A and B are shown apart, each in its own frame.
Chain A
Amino acid sequence: EVQVAESGGGLVQPGGSLRLSCAASGFTFSDYVMNWVRQAPGQGLEWVSGIRGDGGTTYYADSVKGRLTISRDNSKNSVFLQMTSLRVEDTAVYYCARGAAGSASDWYDFWGQGTLVAVSS
């Protein structure tokens, strides 16, 4: 059974940093592009970042480029999102999601339950 689970969210001040983790199981982790998708309170879904199976290629939305860094550790079936210079508008539930088709722009067939990041002073 495929499972994806995020952790690491919390309350942080503007300008602060946070590191999200996503642990996956039930599939050959290194075969898949893994992604982060966020949802601000009461709002829609926004793709944030993705990383190819070998970790060699990363993708970012313009809104987070230069502030968020995605990485993965295939030996631990985990993907991470290092968040720096956080802004109030980064407040959202962050979901880890598996890319289904192996593309930079993809659809997402398995999602975690999400972890809340709140940026506030």
Chain B
Amino acid sequence: DIQMTQSPSSVSASIGDRVTITCRASQPISSWLAWYQQKPGKAPRLLIYATSTLQTGVPSRFSGSGSGTEFTLSISSLQPEDFATYYCQQANYFPPLFGGGTKVEIK
């Protein structure tokens, strides 16, 4: 079975910092990768799909890249509203599978 591994599991950062989160798939998944943001007590929000396509309404400070087995989500300049947990998810194989999450905390 495919596995999705995110790193780090948590990161402390300051407003204005650049933050990068990595997601690794145990098998190649082409570009079938999405990223979600989840705030406490709220539903996940789709940020990026197909590795690098920004969902409508998502600020341009978010970007995604990668292919095959290694992918990254970058936040170019961290804003107060970006403190949340981020999940990657593969959609190349059935069943769809999420990574374990990365919590972005205030430094």
Contacts and interface: CB of A to CB of B under 8 A. Distances in A.
Contact of A112 (B43, B45, B91, B98): B43
B91 A103 contact: yes
B46 A109 contact: yes
Nearest to A63: B95
A45 interface: yes
Contacts of B36: 45
B contact patch SS: loop
B98 A47 contact: yes
A27 interface: no
B89 interface: yes
A101 B43 contact: no
B98 A107 contact: no
A106 B89 CA distance: 9
Contact of B95 (A44, A45, A61, A100): A61
Contact of A105 (B44, B49, B93): B93
Interface in B25-54: 32, 34, 36, 38, 42-46, 49
